[in-house]
Amino acid sequence: MEELAHFQGYKTDFLGPGLQVRLPRLNRKLRAAVAPVTGSRDNVLHYQHFSLIQNAQRRFPIFTAANIDGSLFKSLGRDDNWQLDPRIDENHQWGPSLYAAEKSDFDRGHMTKREDVQWGPTDEEARRGALSTFFYTNAVPQVAKLNQQLWRSLEDYILKTEAVNDGRKITLFTGPVLSDLDPEFVTEVDGQSIRIPTLFWKVIYFTKSDGRLYRVGFLMGQEDLLLKEKIVRPPKRSKSIFLTEEEQLFMNFKHADTYQVNIGTIRKLTKLSFTAAREPFKDDRPITLIRKEVQSKSLFGPAGPSFVIEGVRL
C-alpha cells in the first residue's frame, strides 16, 4: 500500500497550459457502480502515469486514463507479475480465478498498455510505470486474436508511429463498453455468472502546430470471436477526403473507415462524457451498423490481421 501511494497518476494538464483534459464524466448509473477506494475521496485508482475508475458490479475498469510522453519512452524487457489491488475490495475485481477457469480462452487484456506508461527521465521510473499496469483492475478478458493482433496493432500505431517517432505527448483514454447485453461466459467463476465485454474503445487527445486540442476515437469488437470459440453463450438480442499531412495525425491507421469513429458514438455506448476538442474525423454511420462493422472476424486470416500500419509523414 505504501508503494502504491507514491504512484504519479493521470495529469489533466499534461498536454500543456490551457489544454486541460479532465477524466471522463460518469452518468448517475455509472457513479453508483464505482468501486470505493481506500483513502480516496473521488474513488480514483492512481498508478504510474495513469489512473482508472473501477466498476464494482462488473469488476472491470470503466475506463483508464494515461499520459504518454513519446520523447521519454524507454525500451525495457517485460516482467509480468499480475496482482490484485489492495485499495479496493477483492469482490470488486476479477483475479486469477477468471483467467484460470475452464474455457477461459482469453488473455488478460491490458486497458492501459504496458509500454504506454513505460517512460520517464530514468529507466527506474519507466520500469515502475510498466509494472504498475499489471494490476487486475487494468485488465479485461480479450480473445487472443484481438489482444495480440488487431488491438495490439492499434496500440503500437498510437504509441510508436504517432507518439515515440515524433517525441509527442498524448493523452489516452481506454476501456470496455460495459453493456447489460454483454454475453455470459460459459463457465461460472466463484459461483457467479460473468458477462464478457464485446466492445473496446480508445479516445486520444493531442495537439498540432496550431496549439489547439484535438481528439480522435477508435472502437473494436470481439463478439464474433467469442462466439466462434464458444467462450460465451449466444446473446439474446466513410467517405474519402483529401487531407494535409498534419491533418492525417492519428488518422493513418489502415481500415480506419471500419474502426475509427466519432467520440459521440463512444459517448452513446459508454455513457461517458469527454472533454471537448476539435475532431478531424467525421462519421455519420448509425451505431447499429458500426457495432457490426467493428467486429474483427472479417480482417483475420491464417496469418493474422490483413493490414499493416502505415507511418505518418510530418
Where are the domains positioned within the chain?
Answer: 4-305
Q: Would you call 242 exposed, middle or buried from its count of C-beta atoms within 10 A (0-12, 13-18, 19+)?
A: exposed
Cα gap 152→275, rounded to integer Å: 26
Which residues lie across from 175 on neighbouring strands?
201
Look at residue 4 and give its three-state secondary structure: helix
> Which of 271, 5, 226, 205 minimizes the C-alpha distance to 109?
226
Residues near 238 by Cβ (< 8 Å), separated by ≥ 6? 256, 257, 260, 282, 283, 285
Q: How many CB atoms lie within 10 A of CB 304?
A: 13
pLDDT band at 1 (very low <50, low <70, confident <90, very high): low
- The percent of residues in the chain predicted with pLDDT above 90, rounded, is 57
Q: Considering only the top CATH level, what class is 4-305?
A: alpha beta
This prediction's pTM = 0.85
Look at residue 102 and give its three-state secondary structure: coil
111-115: average pLDDT: 94
Match 474525423 to its residue by C-alpha cell. 281
Residue-wise pLDDT for 238-269, tens only, equals: 444 444 555 444 444 444 445 788 999 999 99
Q: Would you call 288 exposed, middle or buried from its count of C-beta atoms within 10 A (0-12, 13-18, 19+)?
A: exposed
pLDDT band at 77 (very low <50, low <70, confident <90, very high): confident
Residue 304's pLDDT is 41
According to DSSP, residue 187 is labeled S
User: How high does pLDDT run on average in the chain?
Assistant: 84
Match 483529401 to its residue by C-alpha cell. 242
Look at residue 83 and give its three-state secondary structure: strand
Residue 264's pLDDT is 92
Instruction: Indicate the length of the chain as a whole number.
Output: 314
Within 13 Å of residue 209, how many CA atoms lie on the same side as its CB?
7
Residues near 72 by Cβ (< 8 Å), separated by ≥ 6? 119, 120, 121, 126
Residue-wise pLDDT for 165-181, tens only, equals: 777 899 999 999 999 88
Residue 4's pLDDT is 75
Residue 197's pLDDT is 95
